[in-house]
Amino acid sequence: MRMTPDAPSSPRSAILLVNLGTPDAPTAPAVRRYLAEFLHDHRVVSLTRWLWCPILHFIILPLRGPKVAHKYASIWMDGGSPLAVHTRGLAEAMQAQRPDVRVAWAMRYGNPSIASVVDALRAEGVRDIVVLPLYPQYSTTTTASVQDAIDRVARAHADTRFRVVHDYHVDAGWVAAVADSIRAHWAAHGRADRLLFSFHGIPQRLVNAGDPYERQSRASVDAIVAALGLAPDEALLTFQSRFGREPWLQPYTDETLKALAGQGVKTIDVVCPGFAVDCLETLEEISVENDALFREAGGQALRYIPCLNASDAHAAALAGVVAALPGARA
């Protein structure tokens, strides 16, 4: 685990930021390794393994690996994938604000793994870890999977205390940070005709089974819109990144953009507050693919508002989330 600036020399407690994950390189083999781990998680794909594994390894990975690698290559940064670069930067920003504890980061899939970072923290003397999944809204497909991984690690380290933050979808500090980022975008570029909030989708059947993700996503939008002083009908909520043929949460982002362009909307601001930091889904899917789709349908400009990334406001908001966790010593 890479040290972050000004961290305590002999910490007893730590904050562990956990993001989804990323390939180690923008190459087909690296992408296939990453997707194989990601799509093997039963929280992500619940099909029986005897049915799913042949489909995954003999159809999906060979076909999607090169295509997804090309997309990653188009957004890759000098320090790695944007998701890894910004997650690392966020940990460093939080470390600067919380010099009394160790702040580390890990990925649920790929590197650095949760287990390896926990081992490194324990080697430094840490025995109290607050785990903060970088998913503002809880879902069984994301936050619950991090909990699964932490539970496995915790069983191997009975002397270490783990506490997991389940969500922060209406946390006042986080809501204010997102609203301020939208205001800053408007101050620099003016307001577009419409404001659209795009969240990563999940299958509708999961929501029907009790997953709170849709409800929390809508609550996040309501809180941010209220903080901006807008009327509820001045913003739209949509869901992106659907995969497969079954129904996912609707309305879909791409179809909504086409419809808006067809209605004569020329400019649109898009913000993605379900993502803590910018990644493939924001920088390529929204800023490139959906921008092209909107223009082809008659729109003039899709202006993407970046995620909070490693901003001081984001670091402060998340530090406040951790401080509010009942019983947290971090």
Which residues carry a binding-site annotation for Fe(2+)?
200, 281
The closest alpha carbon to 279, from 230, 325, 241, belongs to 241
Which residues, at least 6 apart from 142, have a Cβ–Cβ distance to it below 8 Å? 20, 43, 108, 133, 135
The closest alpha carbon to 174, from 3, 37, 50, 313, belongs to 313
Task: Confirm if 241 and 279 have CB atoms less than 8 A apart.
Answer: no
User: Phi and psi dihedrals of 139, rounded to 5?
Assistant: -145, 150
Element (H, E) at 34: helix 28-40
Q: Which residue has 């408007």 as its token pair?
A: 186
Spatial separation of the C-alpha atoms in residues 38 and 20, rounded to whole Å: 9
Task: Confirm if 273 and 134 have CB atoms less than 8 A apart.
Answer: no
Residue 327 identity: G
Spatial separation of the C-alpha atoms in residues 176 and 105, rounded to whole Å: 24
- Residue ranges for the known binding site are 200, 281
Hey, what are 271's tokens? 């913000």
307: left (phi over 0), alpha (psi -120 to 50) or beta: beta
